[in-house]
Amino acid sequence: MQYKLLGKSGLRVSELCLGTMTFGEDWGWGSSQEESQRIYQVFREAGGNSINTTNIYTNGTSEKFLS
């Protein structure tokens, strides 16, 4: 995994970001909790550390899965 510095903060973030809009099935589609956990684990094992989530993704389920 390649990393970039985030501005002048010194924080190293992965060039790839994991989008979590499809974590959860609240909208009638998306990944189950088990599948979401597998996706997250593969991302972390590959060295990823940048995750995109928001409280409106599947009514907040994506954030619950990540906590």
What mean pLDDT do residues 10-28 have?
A: 95
DSSP conformation class of 58: G
What is the structure's pLDDT at 33?
A: 95
Q: Which of 23, 43, 57, 65 is catalytic?
A: 57
What is the structure's pLDDT at 34?
A: 96
57 is catalytic: yes
Q: Provide the Cα torsion 32, 38, 39, 45; round to 10°.
A: 160
Read off the pLDDT of residues 21-66 as tens digits, 9 standing for 90 and up: 999 999 999 999 999 999 999 999 999 999 999 888 888 999 999 8
Which helix (DSSP H) or strand (DSSP E) does residue 4 occupy?
A: strand 3-5
Q: Are 58 and 21 in contact (CB under 8 A)?
A: yes
Q: Are 31 and 42 in contact (CB under 8 A)?
A: no
Q: Return left, alpha or beta for 3; rule: phi > 0 is left, psi -120 to 50 is alpha, else beta.
A: beta
What is the structure's pLDDT at 54?
A: 87
The pTM assigned to this predicted structure is: 0.86
